[in-house]
Structure 1
Amino acid sequence: MSGPLYVPVLPTRPHAAAAFRRLWPDVRAAIRPLWNLPPLPGAAPEALGTVVAQYVDRVSAVSRRGGWLDAPFGEDAQTAALAEALALYCAWGWLLPVTGPERTGAQQAAAVETARRCLRGLGVRVRVTGEWDGHLGEHVRDLLDRTGPEVPVDLLLDMGAVLDDRPDAGKEALRALDALMPLTAWRNAVLLGGAFPRVTADMVEQGRCEAGRAEWRMWHEVRATGRAYAPLLGYGDYGVQSPNALAQAPAPGRKGGPPWGVLRYTTGSTYLFVKTLTRGPDRIAVNRGAARRIVESPEFRGAGAGPGEEWLSDCANGPLSTGEGVGGPTEWLRAGNLQHMTYVVRSLPGD
């Protein structure tokens, strides 16, 4: 594959798996997802194998070219059972285990052992949600010493939420990379961050809204420093959801939800989002109008740009007499991630 690696940080949810499956083959070939299990509060260890299978089966089937599988919200009492469940997918599929310097010793040991058995590598996810802490580098060094040189390792530097109110994120990422890159011969190094905001009802009352793609600017800022590792530094983001969406526990059987949602679109420097309705007599007209606001904007790349744009165009131009094609929260997230991942791959520089 030419150019930097693209690593979207995705939940093991139906909308994300469906989006990844529907990507055009050449786009999908350029992507290595970091799949995340949701929190499973109170799940009994003896039931975790079945629960994990419900989430991971859908993503392992579409990740034939690789990626990583993480359970960042696992409870201490679940560590052994989670490790056993995830090891099956890492050993027999194409997904790699993940650990990090802030994880428990038991979780680290389990991930390292799985990596040794599957012989394909280990993801080291280092979270920097504020200022860089030099002690993290020491903890990563200790983790690498226990991993051993026979296991290929990938650095996943996760900056978390990178919004416009965090202007020093690029500098902190650079401090972290300067400390972490010399520790070993990383097979891949990827800079992750999420700038899509947590959308509230107040934000979308005025119609179309915009938010800056601060994680995209952060990555370019680091690449422009001239560091020896900069040209090979991979890019990662959280797609068209805020980073805190990953931490939402599933709510089986819950009905209802808010009466509104959003359509999302990615431009060169911003995210656009427009209010939609999940119910009510005006739902069809409002949702088709929301799609038209995106399709008729100067930033829209045309229905032929990808399956996400095709869906938006079909939604915008559909009849008001039927609700077919206006979608709901799952379809809106799927279409948003489809256009976003396609656009990111097309925007990354080649060799």
Structure 2
Amino acid sequence: MSGPLYVPVLPTRPHAVGACRRLWPDVRAAIRPLWNLPPLPGAAPETLTTLVGKYVDPVSAASRHGGWIDAPFGEDAQTAALAEALSVYCEWGRLLPVTGPERTEAQQAAAVETARRCLRGLGVRVRVTGEWDGHLGEHVRDLLARTGPEVPVDLLLDMGAVLDGRPDAGKEALRALDALMPLAVWRSAALLGGGFPRVTADMLEDGSGEWSRAEWRMWHEVRATGSAYAPLLGYGDYGVQPSSALAQAPAPGRKGGPPWGVLRYTTDSSYLLFKVRTRGSDRIAVNRSAARRIIELPEFRGAGAGQGEEWLSDCANGPLSTSEGVGGPAEWLRAGNLQHMTYVVRSLPGG
């Protein structure tokens, strides 16, 4: 069993695609993203090809080393049209289809058929958002029986949000892996978890906040068990957004938004967030000050550590007379993902 070092679970949004495009080549080569289409509520099947292309064309161009493409929020009436639209990227591109035990039989059958045609594999995404349910293992066994041994399969064990309030996540992941690993000759297996919290203004009353990397701790806990599969288990997370962000439906033409945002920085044990402003007369000074607080941290790795650190340094040292380099919500997400993904790859064995 072998696979990518790092599986970031990302939305098919410009900030995430832009971050993947800008990663240094050696970092990009170690990453296989699990891309997620957003919900497309009420979209008619005949419009889905165009909608899917809007989101997946940039993803396909940025995924030269491969990855997976999933539509976890697809409605039942959209199943056939989504499968047809996504199959193009799987058959002619480098992306692999995804299914899971909780999906409808129609979605499972469509993903398996696409995997057979593209001849490169199928991602089996198993969600465990609470305690492990043994029935899930039975459903995975049934799914694999319908897939057949000729299709390479990758296990994507998705633990959902993994925060400090879920201290048993490692034990539940172990229970799941012990049940799932014997079911197939998995080509690869990755343990995925979301660790960034959903940030609200009151969480940053003093302008900053710190949260532990519980999903990083979970992965290390599983790796330390000595199980035969542990040394080969890949690591995955949701980048610099909470896992719930994937379920946000697009809101075309929406203007406004909160008057604040955050700059993000990942350290060995923590996520650090610093409040910035999206508007107001003091926006430039506040935002450059927030970036300066990051680059003055003992954990800051220097502007040469990656493009995320470089952006933060440029923002911190820019003039107060111009807003150039101060950025906005999309750029803050992109810079955060650049820093986070680069650091994760550098922290993993072999990275």
Normalization by structure 2: what TM-score? 0.99
Q: Distance in 2 between matches of 1:290 and 1:81?
A: 45
Q: Equivalent residue for 2:294? A: 294
Structure 1 outlier segments of 4+, above 4 Å? none
- 1:248 aligned partner, one-letter code: Q
Q: Distance in 2 between matches of 1:259 and 1:75?
A: 34
Q: Equivalent residue for 1:11? A: 11
Q: Equivalent residue for 1:49? A: 49
Q: Tell me how far 1:205 sits from its aligned partner.
A: 2.1
Q: Tell me how far 1:3 sits from its aligned partner.
A: 8.6
Q: Equivalent residue for 1:206? A: 206
Deviations 1:205-243 (A, max 9, x none): 211210010000000000000000000000000011000
- 2:289 aligned partner, one-letter code: G
Q: Equivalent residue for 1:128? A: 128
Unaligned runs of 5+ in 1: none
Give the fraction of aligned pairs with identical amino acids, expressed as a percent: 86
Q: Distance in 2 between matches of 1:3 and 1:253?
A: 40
Deviations 1:13-66 (A, max 9, x none): 000000000000000000000000000001111000000000000110010111
Q: Distance in 2 between matches of 1:84 and 1:68?
A: 16
Aligned residues between the structures: 350
Q: Distance in 2 between matches of 1:190 and 1:211?
A: 23
Q: Distance in 2 between matches of 1:189 and 1:80?
A: 28
Deviations 1:122-147 (A, max 9, x none): 00000000000000000000000000
Given that residues 11 and 37 in structure 2 are in contact (C-alpha distance below 8 angstroms), is that contact kept between their aligned partners in structure 1?
yes
Q: Tell me how far 1:267 sits from its aligned partner.
A: 0.1
Q: Distance in 2 between matches of 1:40 and 1:3?
A: 31
Normalization by structure 1: what TM-score? 0.99
Q: Distance in 1 between matches of 2:205 and 2:38?
A: 30
Q: Equivalent residue for 2:192? A: 192
Given that residues 295 and 302 in structure 2 are in contact (C-alpha distance below 8 angstroms), is that contact kept between their aligned partners in structure 1?
yes
1:39 partnered with 2:50: no
The equivalences for 1:140-179 within 5 A come to 140-179=140-179
Q: Distance in 1 between matches of 2:97 and 2:54?
A: 18
Q: Distance in 2 between matches of 1:233 and 1:326?
A: 38
Q: Equivalent residue for 2:251? A: 251
Q: Distance in 1 between matches of 2:183 and 2:5?
A: 21
Secondary structure (helix, strand or coil) at the match of 1:197 reads coil
Secondary structure (helix, strand or coil) at the match of 2:191 reads strand
Q: Distance in 2 between matches of 1:38 and 1:107?
A: 16
Given that residues 3 and 189 in structure 2 are in contact (C-alpha distance below 8 angstroms), is that contact kept between their aligned partners in structure 1?
no
- 1:172 aligned partner, one-letter code: E
Q: Equivalent residue for 1:106? A: 106
Unaligned runs of 5+ in 2: none
